[in-house]
Chains A and B, each alone.
Chain A
Amino acid sequence: MRIVVPIKAVPDLVEEIELTADETGIDREFLAFVVSEWDAQALEEALLIKDANGAEVVAAGLASDPDIDQALYTAIAKGADAAVKITGGEGEPVLTGERAALLASYLASEPADLVVTGVQAADDLDGQLPPMLAARLGWPHVSVVVGIAATDGAITARQEFAGGRVHELAVRLPAVIGVQAARQAPRYAPISRVRQAMQAGGLREVAAEPSRGAPAPVVRRMFRPERTSRAEMLTGSTDDVAEAIVGLLRGRGLVKG
């Protein structure tokens, strides 16, 4: 089974986010990027399938994503069999629709049995990748998945609902799965292995020819949320704070005595 795992670099949320001068986008120039946490979960899930059943896992990134080489080599260090860098399109594809177009073109040239990727990304504006990609490919798709079991020519995916209800779905391949969480926490890639992977090279560039998709929303402006209210901060020693909290609860009759 060939599993392709699209990986996206997203702004590191520990950084201060700056807007562009015209305030219609994020200023990406000085921003630090990290792999989207849901993509890290997706890669882990794909590697778990490989560990259990054997599979060829290919990490796929867009060449225009910041620091994507590092992310792809890390995927190899974790156990991916190969990694590809997809080129094509114009500039940095900020919208998910553009990413879906590039990936759909790549998957047409190098077919996969299963695409596993993060259910969402922190900077999705126009929708999530898994359904968009599946719709372009005409494949079945399931999102918010918390575990995949592979069988011959099919998989079962555990789809999670608010409140914890889980649907187990049998899905024919090829299919696209949007992963919410892998069955276990993503594994660690020691830097020495990442460096080994870098020295070995082996990132393959593949040119894609994206076709037009759905019209995108138009960004009128971006802005920071105003703080409408702010908590009253309790100060003093830990003991004072504890006393104040117990007082608040007692005042509402939530603590006996």
Chain B
Amino acid sequence: MSNAVLVLAEHDGKQISDSTYELLGAARGLAAALGGTAEVALLGPRDLAGQLGGADVVVSVDHPALAQYLPQASEVALLAVVAERSPRLVLTTCATPGLDLAAALSVRWRAPLAAYVVALDVADSAVVATAQILGGKVLAELELPGEHGIAAVIGGAFPAAAGRGDRAPEIAEVTPPAELDELAMSLVQVTEPQGGDVDITTAELLVSVGRGIESEDNIELVQDLGDALGVPLSASRPVVDAGWLPKTRQVGKSGLTVKPKAYLAFGISGAPEHLEGMRDAELVIACNTDANAPIFDVAHYGTTADLFDLVPALTEKLDQ
């Protein structure tokens, strides 16, 4: 066993994701506390190691099956990595690759896993994770007993800046396991979000709608406000799942992370998954009829006015 903290790198074959740097930042802090190294498992093209200057060691498995993310390929490769490096702690995200791999690794590596982690600590050489469950209503302090542990961390829990760096990390190559040549799955096609749609991540101001909008017909009401402000609409997951707005407009986990100068949230209750994607907006103004909605915990200004009254009133004021 080592005291290394190993981060699972997420990438699309070309670019390391921001979430990886968030994890790497956390890993460096923990590694320092444990007296180990901060390592990154890079499953895929080895040249991506150049983007991982914040790591002490980049553990690389390079194989054609890993060129693009494939759940089974990454799983066997990750197993090979932990078998070789035997880290104290493995960190993944709680988004797509993390949701595939962390729990599978827990079973196959026989290591305890803490999910939906928002904070990590080392106390008396024990790793303690704080997990957020039940829609953010409860926090659980979990100890990861034994020699190894895994934490699946929600986005935005740690700053990405701490994970960047310009060192030249040691590259440790791990031989691709033979199973990579006989997988039970293959990638048929990759669909990028439909082109031509706006990019909400670059907007200075966003008008965002949630479940409170009630029906597709009411989207028009908020669209009018967006038009009056000259800004695009974004949305929380239920609105996108219902097909009322395209996926490219979804803010939050499994959607996009936005950092506009101002974020207007209408009828968004503020599930943790959503807050993950917008908590760094400079100004958050929330409208929700439920005065206890969690969105008011991150908003700077709030109102319990009925959005069906407020939105037209705003549009009218702006049109004047």
A residues touching B (Cβ–Cβ < 8 Å)?
11, 13, 17, 19, 26, 96-97, 100, 119-120, 122-132, 134-136, 139-144, 156, 159-172, 175, 178, 180-181, 185, 213-225, 227-235, 238-239, 241-246, 248-249, 252, 254-255
What is the interface residue range for chain B against chain A? 35 or more
Greatest chain A CB density within 10 A among B96, B110, B246, B298 is at B96
A168 to B69, CA, bound (A): 11
Contact A169 B188 (CB under 8 A): yes
A190 to B192, CA, bound (A): 39
A233 to B292, CA, bound (A): 12
Contact B184 A171 (CB under 8 A): yes
Contact B193 A225 (CB under 8 A): no
Counting CB contacts under 8 A, is B202 at the interface?
no
Q: Which residues in B have their C-beta under 8 angstroms from that of A165?
A: 12, 190-193
Contact B95 A162 (CB under 8 A): yes
Q: Which of B229-287 contact A (CB under 8 A)?
A: 229, 241-242, 246-248, 250, 253-257, 261-262, 264, 282-286
Other-chain contact of B113, A19, A126, A134, A169 (Cβ < 8 Å): A126
Counting CB contacts under 8 A, is B116 at the interface?
yes
Other-chain contact of B205, A143, A225, A246, A254 (Cβ < 8 Å): A254
A117 to B187, CA, bound (A): 22
Counting CB contacts under 8 A, is B215 at the interface?
no
Q: Which residues in A have their C-beta under 8 angstroms from that of B229?
A: 249, 254-255
Q: Which residues in A have their C-beta under 8 angstroms from that of B188?
A: 156, 168-170
Contact A248 B141 (CB under 8 A): no
B299 to chain A, nearest CB (A): 4
A219 to B70, CA, bound (A): 33
Contact A11 B301 (CB under 8 A): no
Q: Which residues in A have their C-beta under 8 angstroms from that of B299?
A: 231
B164 to chain A, nearest CB (A): 19
Residue of A nearest to B255 (CB): A162
User: Quick check: which of B27-35, B48-56, B130-138 contacts chain A, the rest being far away?
Assistant: B130-138
A196 to B125, CA, bound (A): 57
Known: A165-B12, A241-B310. A217 touches B184 (CB 8 A): no
Contact B152 A127 (CB under 8 A): yes
Known: A124-B115, A156-B188, A217-B129. A245 touches B264 (CB 8 A): yes
29 inter-chain pairs at a CB distance below 8 angstroms, sorted by A residue, are: A125-B133, A127-B115, A131-B100, A131-B103, A131-B107, A132-B104, A135-B107, A140-B185, A143-B71, A143-B100, A162-B96, A164-B248, A167-B187, A168-B189, A170-B186, A178-B100, A214-B107, A214-B112, A217-B114, A223-B138, A231-B300, A234-B305, A238-B313, A241-B310, A242-B314, A242-B316, A245-B303, A254-B205, A254-B262
Contact B303 A241 (CB under 8 A): yes
Q: Which residues in A have their C-beta under 8 angstroms from that of B134?
A: 11, 13, 17, 26, 122-123
A219 to chain B, nearest CB (A): 6
A223 to chain B, nearest CB (A): 6
Contact B314 A120 (CB under 8 A): no
Counting CB contacts under 8 A, is B204 at the interface?
yes
A172 to B314, CA, bound (A): 53
Q: Which residues in A have their C-beta under 8 angstroms from that of B95?
A: 144, 161-162
Contact B253 A142 (CB under 8 A): no
Q: Which residues in A have their C-beta under 8 angstroms from that of B155?
A: 162
Residue of B nearest to A253 (CB): B261
Contact A246 B314 (CB under 8 A): yes
Contact A172 B113 (CB under 8 A): no
Counting CB contacts under 8 A, is B36 at the interface?
no
A229 to B302, CA, bound (A): 12
A143 to B155, CA, bound (A): 18
User: Quick check: which of B1-9, B143-151, B169-177 contacts chain A, the rest being far away?
Assistant: B143-151
Counting CB contacts under 8 A, is B102 at the interface?
yes
Other-chain contact of B254, A167, A180, A219, A227 (Cβ < 8 Å): A180
Contact B135 A215 (CB under 8 A): no
Contact B301 A144 (CB under 8 A): no
Contact A168 B187 (CB under 8 A): yes
Contact B317 A242 (CB under 8 A): yes
Q: Which of B61-77 contact A (CB under 8 A)?
A: 68-72
